[in-house]
Structure 1
């Protein structure tokens, strides 16, 4: 890989991060702007579909923004190196939409429900990175030993299901889950060869998705 390859990899990630920073700080300073472009079920159902996209570039505060952007920057290259910048962007936005679609589905009758943040898109990139590199090691601040990527991915989505069921915190667990599903599905569509080389990991990473489906069908999700 030469210098220009590294430059290209950095640019696409930086452009997305800059867009998030600009939109988020605009929202911090202008409440009207924030309210106009956040995810809100009632507004979306009245036809303001732009919120499905724009809400992914707004954040609650600087900490929320930094956490999402740091995570994106950390995992972006793992996807770009395997699939290229264009496909990375497709996965990012597909995950953002998947996440908001799942939120809209679960909260379709909660016209008051609102949400913001790039978490769905970022989780999609995270899950895509794990799917492409299932043996990658991840380190958590409170765990001194490396965690295999696929173990982290499964655990994260199981926690998201628990969070959805128990409504833990002011967190859009359904958007996180939907984003991960988006990253998972789109990455497999782009890289069908994974079914030959990593079928076992594909099956393991699908476990939380199957669990969510079963819980929903049996009425045990809420």
Structure 2
């Protein structure tokens, strides 16, 4: 299983090691790697656009992201191969942070961490190939079709961004940017994705 998806496995291991080290040994590492618009724009610390995706603010944050990466990253890597998989993952992360950078360019104290943007991109790419697969949230017994979840996800994120809300520390704008980035990259890298999606919708 892990041999078939080496890059998903590596991303899981890196996230667990780096976040685990930061949470247990060196909490200051979270701030040094975090996405901070002021440091990126004024200090030219562009590495933060990537490194922020490898640190998390707590174990629940880390665990939820890694479970999502495990379940959606593996089928995407098998389906698309390692190169396209990595382009979507890191491209979605850059899209997530690029959108956040634009929104929070004048907020010097803003900071964010986590792999949610990159994972959102994989999730939305997955929806193109498997729109009616069931997604189960927080062990809720009734699964939600992937395409319904995706639409609801976008609507909620847009609403939250417009209201400037970050409930529970969730950076909705990063989720939205990553999701749209992953969707567009999947369509670009696999042109048949749209045909597959429309066929499953009966169009």
Same fold (TM over 0.5): yes
Alignment match, 1:44: 40
Q: CA deviation at 1:45?
A: 0.7
- Is the contact between residue 138 and residue 147 of structure 1 (CA under 8 Å) also seen in structure 2? yes
Gaps of 5+ in 2: none
Q: Does 1:11 align with 2:11?
A: no
- Is the contact between residue 5 and residue 78 of structure 2 (CA under 8 Å) also seen in structure 1? no
Q: Which of 43, 50, 55 is the equivalent residue of 1:58?
A: 55
Q: CA deviation at 1:41?
A: 1.1
Mapping of residues 168-183 of structure 1, within 5 Å? 168-169=166-167, 170-183=169-182
Query: Quick one: higher RCO (CA 8 Å, sep 6+), 1 or 2?
Result: 2
Q: Does 1:25 align with 2:24?
A: no
Range with greater deviation from structure 2 (135-144 or 113-122)? 135-144
Indicate how the Cα distance of structure 1 residues 75 and 200 shifts in structure 2: closer, same or farther if over 3 A, else same: same
- Tell me, in whole angstroms, the C-alpha distance in 2 between the residues paired with 1:142 and 1:69: 16
- Is the contact between residue 150 and residue 201 of structure 1 (CA under 8 Å) also seen in structure 2? no
- Tell me, in whole angstroms, the C-alpha distance in 1 between the residues paired with 2:195 and 2:126: 18
- Is the contact between residue 42 and residue 112 of structure 1 (CA under 8 Å) also seen in structure 2? yes
Secondary structure at 2:142 match in 1: strand
Indicate how the Cα distance of structure 1 residues 177 and 48 shifts in structure 2: closer, same or farther if over 3 A, else same: same
Q: CA deviation at 1:99?
A: 0.5
Mapping of residues 73-222 of structure 1, within 5 Å? 73-141=70-138, 143-166=140-163, 167-169=165-167, 170-199=169-198
Taking only aligned residues, the RMSD between alpha carbons, in angstroms, comes to 1.9
Q: CA deviation at 1:180?
A: 0.4
- Is the contact between residue 79 and residue 132 of structure 1 (CA under 8 Å) also seen in structure 2? no
Q: CA deviation at 1:124?
A: 0.8
Residues paired across the two proteins, number:
197
Indicate how the Cα distance of structure 1 residues 137 and 30 shifts in structure 2: closer, same or farther if over 3 A, else same: same
- Is the contact between residue 102 and residue 175 of structure 1 (CA under 8 Å) also seen in structure 2? yes
